[in-house]
Amino acid sequence: MKAPMRVAVTGAAGQIAYSLLFRVASGDMLGKDQPVILQLLEITPALDALKGVVMELDDCAFPLVAGITMSDKPEEAFKDVDVALLVGARPRGPGMERKDLLEANAAIFSVQGKALNDVASRDVKVLVVGNPANTNALIAQRNAPDLNPANFTAMTRLDHNRALAQLAAKTDAHTTDVKQMIIWGNHSATQYPDISQATVKGQAASGLVARDWYETDFIPTVQQRGAAIIKARGASSAASAGSSAVDHVRDWVLGTPAGDWVSMAIPSDGSYGIEKGLIYSFPVTCKNGRYEIVQGLDIDDFSRERMSVTEQELREERDGVAHLLP
Ligand SMILES: NC(=O)C1=CN([C@@H]2O[C@H](COP(=O)(O)OP(=O)(O)OC[C@H]3O[C@@H](n4cnc5c(N)ncnc54)[C@H](O)[C@@H]3O)[C@@H](O)[C@H]2O)C=CC1
Ligand SMILES: O=C([O-])CC(=O)C(=O)O
């Protein structure tokens, strides 16, 4: 039996966590042979609700759960954690953009970055889900100077999966037939879902769909999918967000399949001319618990323009929270 891994989940009484926790506990994220200790963080008024969630986790009798803790103090919840899923934050409602949440949510991530810096495992892998995810990840990372910046990531895997689903439906294929999708940039309406490298059953996707569909239907549909869910459901995506968080961490820890890649928002190292340090979504492959940006892709003028627009938005978000960036 492997030693348990410690997984912190913030916002553990919220909507996303209500689906995410059960997937983590059942072994979908770290493997069916990997015991987990769940370290759950909530704000004080939500601790009663959290107790109910823990009662349900207990009632599932998951073989891989080696312990569960609850706390309203980040320094307790993050103690020695190997993986930190930073979900807890206010979600947007109808008519809002994700960056409208910056004011409400940014402070959470400076406090949590500091706590991770002080008490988490030195190799902790951090995934920020709470919006605006990229800039919140930047805040957490900059407040954790003793940890490797590369260990702070934000979630664009939901956008990646949405793009797979849209392209698969259009080409009458299954999502597993689609390879080499890319989401560039911010988890926002400026993100650039790029099919220029994608294949469907081994054929170039760009040759299978009309350019007009790609530009006027596919791109805006993926960019606006979060808003469409809010309109339809009256609440922001929860189960699909939880599922994508599982995918993100699983692939980071256990590796990406040969011949394909995934999208992760990570600190830019300057690849593709993107400003160093911004938390920007790139195509990456993962192996041995590390990710690497896919290099050498051709970037045409259409792509370059869109990659720059979303980069510029990330610069503006960063400048808007300068007071939280040590
Ligand atoms: N990156 C992505 O692809 C996606 C991100 N999101 C974002 O995820 C976040 C959570 O969404 P939901 O679970 O639907 O919201 P929710 O409102 O149902 O749950 C959020 C939970 O976080 C808790 N919380 C608030 N401040 C906290 C703090 N300082 N420490 C610990 N917990 C705290 C709240 O008490 C609440 O229980 C939102 O910001 C939402 O916009 C949602 C979908 C996709
Ligand atoms: O749209 C939202 O506010 C929630 C979210 O991030 C998504 O569904 O992509």
Which ligand lies nearest the alpha carbon of 130? 1
- Mean pLDDT for 41-65 is 98
ipTM above 0.90, yes or no: yes
Which ligand lies nearest the alpha carbon of 128? 1
- Nearest atom (ligand 2) to Cα of 133: 6
- Nearest atom (ligand 1) to Cα of 88: 22
DSSP states along 46-66: GHHHHHHHHHHHHHHT-TTEE
**How many angstroms separate the alpha carbon of residue 155 from the centre of ligand 2?**
10
Residue 104 has what pLDDT? 86
Question: What does each C-alpha distance from 98 to 133, 189, 190, 194, 236 come to in angstroms?
Answer: 9, 9, 11, 21, 11
**Residues acting as catalytic residues:** 187
Contact 119, 80 (CB under 8 A): yes
Contact 12, 41 (CB under 8 A): yes
- In CATH terms, the fold of domain 5-154 is Rossmann fold (3.40.50)
Distance CA 250, CA 221 (A): 26
Which residue, chain included where needed, has tokens 């009662």?
Answer: 55
Any idea of the CA torsion for 87, 90, 94, 96, to the nearest 10 degrees?
A: -100
Q: State pLDDT tens for residues 9-45.
A: 999 999 999 999 999 999 999 999 999 999 999 999 9
Domain spans in the chain, listed from the N-terminal domain onward: 5-154, 156-321
**How many angstroms separate the alpha carbon of residue 200 from the centre of ligand 1?**
34
CATH of domain 156-321: 3.90.110.10
Look up the pTM and report it.
Answer: 0.98
Q: State pLDDT tens for residues 172-192.
A: 999 999 999 999 999 999 999
User: What are the binding residues for NAD(+)?
Assistant: 11-17, 105, 112, 129-131
Residue 99 has what pLDDT? 85
What is the best residue among 229, 240, 281 to mutate for testing ligand 2's pocket, by most ligand atoms within 8 Å of CB?
A: 229
